[in-house]
Amino acid sequence: MTSLTQWNAVILIEWGRAFHDQYDIIDKHTQSGLELVEKYVKFVKERTEIEQNYAKQLRNLTKKYNPKRGCKEEQECRFSNHQSFLDILNEMNDYAGQRELIAENMMMNICIEITKYLQELKMERKTHLSEAKKAQQSLESTYKQLDCSKKRFEREWREADKAAQYAEKTDQDINATKADVEKAKQQANMRTHIAEECKNDYAAQLQKYNKEQSQFYFSDMPLIFNKLQDMDERRVRKLAQGYVLFSDTERHVMPIIGKCLEGVTKAGTNVNERNDSIALIEQYKSGFERPGDLDFEDYSQGINRASSDSSLGTLGTPKGPLELLGKNRSKPFWLFSKKSKVGCYFPPMKEWIS
Amino acid sequence: MTSLTQWNAVILIEWGRAFHDQYDIIDKHTQSGLELVEKYVKFVKERTEIEQNYAKQLRNLTKKYNPKRGCKEEQECRFSNHQSFLDILNEMNDYAGQRELIAENMMMNICIEITKYLQELKMERKTHLSEAKKAQQSLESTYKQLDCSKKRFEREWREADKAAQYAEKTDQDINATKADVEKAKQQANMRTHIAEECKNDYAAQLQKYNKEQSQFYFSDMPLIFNKLQDMDERRVRKLAQGYVLFSDTERHVMPIIGKCLEGVTKAGTNVNERNDSIALIEQYKSGFERPGDLDFEDYSQGINRASSDSSLGTLGTPKGPLELLGKNRSKPFWLFSKKSKVGCYFPPMKEWIS
């Protein structure tokens, strides 16, 4: 025999001991529990849709900014500041892939998994509740039988009572014959005998009912309520696991997402402005020498008469007035050294104005 | 004087030394550099819009699943598996807030900041390019002056040559007077003198041009190209900082997002199925005793005639046939002890069927 405190401890944790006339409460409670699970699955499903949509938008963004094959942007990848932008686009694309993974894993490990379990729980609950109804209905039908046999007992005693009074009256009637008195007493005894039988039947029915009622309240219903409690606790455990998975799914990809972000940082630190300046030099540095000074073209040292319309860049053969006049021959044109290259320089300069 | 290797080293990193006829290349290169910055700002802006939209969807989701004040769901928060779902919704809401923070910081620290800097760079570039055009135009006008004075020199020497030949011819003409000869010689000397002046003017112009050309190619343009290089390198540095900020902005909130996910896990582990079962007991445990056995109602120990339609639960006052007949008085109804409570039990049982 357990002590009172132990007994209370037991009562406190078992529905079968705590409830006996609260069937509807347990019905509602287990129902709303299953509804919470359905609601949570729906919530997670909608989160995965948001996640998918987010990932899709990120993918489209990176696609939009990725250069077409062989276009100008692609050629500019020799410059680190252009190349790093492409690296960032690639990291963003991987990032989007991780968000998709979150959505897929939530769908698989939470929505599908819990929905399957939910169907099993719904079936189990239905079974327990119908068992309870069956037990209750059988108790009620036994009660009806009891009520009938009790009413019959009451009716028959009333008849026996009348018969007894008639027998007494006849016995005291001076005009009644011995035969009349005997007949009335026999009638009364017969009625009393029938009533006694009804009384015994009622007693048996009552005994049967009380046995069933006790079985119902102390054994059948507690067992069913405990089964429903166990089912509800398994539901809660499963739901709690689903809650934890909701964050674990995302935490699982956090390191890879972290790697993507590191990749972006790396792309940023890989940029080297000086190297980019040099890359431009490597590609385009001029083949030309800087132009030297223009030469002095000394017509006085001899002019080609044909080239009377000459301009810079033409040279005559030495014959000119100074020679004829025999003047200034000694004067050194110290500031002019080599042939004019003026023809070479101006094409580029023309471009500048255009 | 630097050694050749040092000299090459210098040439390799300075646009001013590497380029002299590549103005258009530098124009295009610095332009496409600024376009990359604009493109990056646009890219980040679109990322922030995606982030804002994502956060908005998460907020709406949590709002949708949060129970209205005082509704059934809210009352069920006494159950840990219901309460934890609300905790998860709150964590998701904080999570959404962090995504909004990412969007806002990217907008402030990258888009707005770099756009401001971009405007300054555009202005600076314009200034450098117009300086280059001015320098080039002035060199070209000097070149035109040089060409003119050179042509005049050539023309004048032709005149002087003619005059010299005429003087020589006159000198050898036996019919020419001394005066004719003298006049022709004076004319020739005068022409030669003019031509000499033109020659000096051409020499001066050439000297001026060569000085300007050398200034242009060896000083002005290198200076401008170096300014453009410096500007472009500042642009690249700023862009590289923007690249790093793109990941830093998100990495900055990662710990708080991690806390939100920890909060979700905590909500999951806080769920206690046994406590939830007990919470239901605490709230609804029956005030009723389990029903005891029904009593035997012994009409044979006396019946109230008025209650001929009586059913279980009614009792007559003791007066009945057995008493009258003086029978069975000693018989003990050992199996019935206390008053019937049947009236109390069935209301709940009725509910069960409904």
B120-145 average pLDDT score = 95
Which member of B61, B85, B321 has the closest CB to residue A160? B321
Q: Looking at chain A, which residue has its C-alpha nearest residue B325? A: A164
The pair of three-digit structure tokens given for residue B197, joined into one six-digit string: 């002046």
Q: Is B293 on the interface with A (CB under 8 A)?
A: yes
Q: Looking at chain B, which residue has its C-alpha nearest residue A49? A: B57
Distance from CA of A12 to the nearest CA of B (A): 6
What ipTM is given for this predicted complex? 0.78
Longest CA–CA span in chain A (Å) reads: 206
> What is residue A287's predicted lDDT score, i.e. its pLDDT?
62
pLDDT reading at B227 higher than 90: yes
> What is residue B291's predicted lDDT score, i.e. its pLDDT?
79
Q: How far is CA A142 from the centre of its chain?
A: 53
d(CA A291, CA A342): 8
Q: Is A302 on the interface with B (CB under 8 A)?
A: no
For B76-115, what is each residue's pLDDT tens digit?
889 999 999 999 999 999 999 999 999 999 999 999 999 9
Which member of A150, A236, A276 has the closest CB to residue B81? A236
Select the more confidently predicted residue: B15 or A352: B15
Mean pLDDT by 10 residues, chain A (354 residues): 48 77 89 97 98 98 89 83 97 98 98 98 97 93 95 93 92 91 93 94 95 93 94 98 98 96 98 95 76 82 44 33 28 27 35 37
Q: Looking at chain A, which residue has its C-alpha nearest residue B273? A: A233
Indicate yes or no: CB of A157 within 8 angstroms of CB of B300: yes
d(CA B22, CA B15): 10
Indicate yes or no: CB of B233 within 8 angstroms of CB of A273: yes
d(CA B286, CA B341): 16
Q: Looking at chain B, which residue has its C-alpha nearest residue A72? A: B32
Distance from CA of A314 to the nearest CA of B (A): 12
The 3-state DSSP composition of chain A as helix, strand, coil percent (nearest 5) reads 80, 0, 20
d(CA B83, CA A40): 12
Cα separations in angstroms, A175 against A163, A165, A171, A185: 19, 17, 10, 16
Of the pLDDT bands very low, low, confident and very high (cuts 50, 70, 90), residue B297 is confident
**Chain B contact set for A202 (CB, 8 A):** 296
Backbone φ and ψ for A20, nearest 5 degrees, come out as -140, -20
DSSP secondary structure code for residue B67 in this structure: P
d(CA B234, CA A316): 53
Q: Looking at chain A, which residue has its C-alpha nearest residue B234? A: A273
> What is residue A6's predicted lDDT score, i.e. its pLDDT?
52
**Chain A contact set for B12 (CB, 8 A):** 278, 281
d(CA A102, CA A58): 14
**Torsion-angle region of residue A326: left (phi > 0), alpha (psi -120 to 50) or beta?**
left
Distance from CA of A89 to the nearest CA of B (A): 10
- Beta carbons within 10 angstroms of residue B225's beta carbon: 22
> What is residue A153's predicted lDDT score, i.e. its pLDDT?
94
d(CA B175, CA B184): 14
**Chain B contact set for A83 (CB, 8 A):** none
**Chain B contact set for A57 (CB, 8 A):** 50, 53-54
For residue A86, give the nearest of A102, A113, A72, A66 by alpha carbon.
Answer: A66
Q: Is A195 on the interface with B (CB under 8 A)?
A: yes
Which H or E run includes A231? Answer: helix A221-270
Of the pLDDT bands very low, low, confident and very high (cuts 50, 70, 90), residue B201 is very high
Distance from CA of B194 to the nearest CA of A (A): 12
Burial (CB < 10 A; 0-12, 13-18, 19+), residue B115, is: middle
Distance from CA of B109 to the nearest CA of A (A): 15
Contact B150, A292 (CB under 8 A): no
Indicate yes or no: CB of B268 within 8 angstroms of CB of A281: no
Question: Percent of chain B at pLDDT above 90?
Answer: 67
**Chain A contact set for B267 (CB, 8 A):** 243
**Chain A contact set for B243 (CB, 8 A):** 84-85, 88, 264-265, 267-268, 271
> What is residue A76's predicted lDDT score, i.e. its pLDDT?
86
Cα separations in angstroms, A63 against A60, A91, A103, A269, B266: 5, 12, 21, 23, 38
Q: Looking at chain B, which residue has its C-alpha nearest residue A218? A: B290
The 3-state DSSP composition of chain B as helix, strand, coil percent (nearest 5) reads 80, 0, 20
d(CA A206, CA B331): 17
Indicate yes or no: CB of A299 within 8 angstroms of CB of B58: no
Indicate yes or no: CB of B13 within 8 angstroms of CB of A47: no
Distance from CA of B281 to the nearest CA of A (A): 6
B154-180 average pLDDT score = 92
Q: Is B343 on the interface with A (CB under 8 A)?
A: no
Which member of A25, A209, A268 has the closest CB to residue B284? A25
pTM: 0.79
Interface of B with A in 9-28 (CB under 8 A): 11-13, 15, 18-26
Indicate yes or no: CB of A85 within 8 angstroms of CB of B268: no
Which member of A24, A296, A353 has the closest CB to residue B206? A296
Q: Is B265 on the interface with A (CB under 8 A)?
A: yes
Indicate yes or no: CB of A271 within 8 angstroms of CB of B236: yes
CA angle (A90, A91, A92) in 5-degree steps: 90
Of the pLDDT bands very low, low, confident and very high (cuts 50, 70, 90), residue B312 is very low
